[in-house]
């Protein structure tokens, strides 16, 4: 497979509104998808250009990586291609922005050994572990109507899989930890999840025990559920339990989604008592990323 091109967008052909959809209310957007993901066509240089326009200090490109061989994301972008793409972006933008080589791995317990071996032999600056509805999952969007009449606790297997990913110790960050809400909505709605904190509690405790960071994923505010991932009450509860590692990700798959709703994310984080964005790896390195006040 030939490497994907580094497509540059210059001042003349970049739409002026691209830098206006997001807001500078966080110094970091660490969940971004480009044309190296099967569900995005964003040219590789768009997010760096937007981050610089907003005055952001660091971003991470976290294109999908699947381990189910039936998934397109298992073969679309080999690791070396990702490395070369980020190296080229650093040559272009590195004097104005820090660009991390990240990855969003679709965690499935049955592929944990393969994931572990991949991460042992390939280096990333940042790893997100997320549970997505795979080919055989009952949580696929096409099956949403099957959840009509079900109790919210019937989604417990999804939360158990998220917890297993956290307890594997493989990832810096858990991505959109209650993403299942998107796939069972509106048949199991947001108030039902808000009334089931027992689904969240073991997952939040696993985050703390392993030192895995929680992602406040702002994409939920633009999606049909209308609420961030995880629920704001889960973010607050994580802090109450002693959680200290948290990051902001827009989960952008198109330019207009970059840093979208980061103003809401900032307000939620400050109200919950967080003062900085952090992963265990960053904290160990002495990095400080204060949340703007």
pLDDT tens per residue across span 253-268: 999 999 999 999 999 9
C-alpha angle with apex 173: 277 to 237, nearest 5 degrees?
A: 65
Least confident residue range of 1-15, 16-30, 64-78, 89-103: 1-15
- The span from the CA of 39 to the CA of 249, in Å, is 17
Cα–Cα distance for residue pair 240/247, rounded to 1 Å: 17
Alpha helices in 111-155 (DSSP H): 112-121
What distance in Å separates the CA atoms of residue 75 and residue 67, rounded to the nearest whole number?
Answer: 9
Domain ranges for the chain? 21-290
Q: Which two tokens stand for residue 126?
A: 């940042």
In this prediction, residues 125-139 reach a mean pLDDT of 95
As a whole number, mean pLDDT of residues 170-192 equals: 97
Q: Which range has the worst mean pLDDT, 19-28, 31-40, 93-102?
A: 19-28
Q: How far apart are the C-alpha atoms of 161 and 149, rounded to whole Å?
A: 23
Range with the poorest average pLDDT among 14-18, 71-75, 98-102, 162-166: 14-18
pLDDT of residue 18 exceeding 80, the answer is no
- Residue whose tokens read 């991932």: 229
Q: What pLDDT does 12 receive?
A: 31
Domain 21-290: CATH class, spelled out: alpha beta
pTM: 0.93
Measure CA 258 to chain center: 12
- What's the chain's average pLDDT? 92
Q: How many CA atoms lie within 13 A of 31 on its CB side?
A: 29
How far is residue 159's CA from residue 229's CA, in Å, rounded to a whole number? 13
What six digits make up the tokens of 212?
Answer: 């895995």
């Amino acid at each position: 497979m030939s490497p994907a091109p580094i497509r540059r967008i210059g001042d003349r052909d970049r739409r002026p509104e691209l830098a206006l959809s997001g807001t500078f209310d966080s110094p970091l957007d660490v969940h971004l998808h480009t044309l190296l993901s099967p569900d995005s066509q964003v040219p590789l240089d768009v997010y760096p250009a937007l981050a610089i326009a907003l005055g952001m200090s660091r971003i991470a490109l976290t294109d999908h990586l699947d381990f189910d061989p039936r998934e397109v994301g298992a073969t679309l972008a080999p690791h070396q291609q990702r490395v070369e793409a980020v190296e080229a972006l650093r040559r272009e933008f590195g004097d104005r922005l820090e660009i991390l080589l990240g990855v969003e791995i679709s965690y499935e317990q049955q592929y944990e050994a393969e994931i572990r071996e991949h991460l042992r032999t390939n280096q990333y600056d940042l790893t997100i572990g997320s549970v997505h509805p795979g080919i055989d999952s009952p949580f696929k969007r096409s099956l949403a109507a099957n959840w009509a009449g079900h109790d919210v606790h019937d989604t417990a297997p999804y939360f158990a899989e998220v917890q297993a990913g956290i307890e594997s110790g493989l990832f810096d960050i858990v991505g959109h930890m209650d993403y299942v809400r998107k796939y069972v909505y509106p048949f199991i709605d947001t108030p039902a999840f808000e009334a089931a904190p027992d689904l969240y509690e073991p997952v939040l405790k696993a985050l703390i025990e392993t030192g895995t960071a929680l992602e406040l994923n702002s994409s939920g505010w633009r999606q049909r559920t209308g609420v961030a991932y995880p629920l704001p009450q889960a973010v607050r509860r994580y802090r109450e339990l002693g959680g200290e590692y948290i990051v902001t990700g827009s989960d952008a798959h198109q330019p207009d989604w970059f840093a979208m709703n980061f103003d809401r994310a900032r307000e939620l984080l400050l109200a919950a008592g967080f003062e900085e964005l952090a992963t265990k790896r960053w904290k160990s390195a002495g990095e400080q990323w204060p949340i703007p006040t």
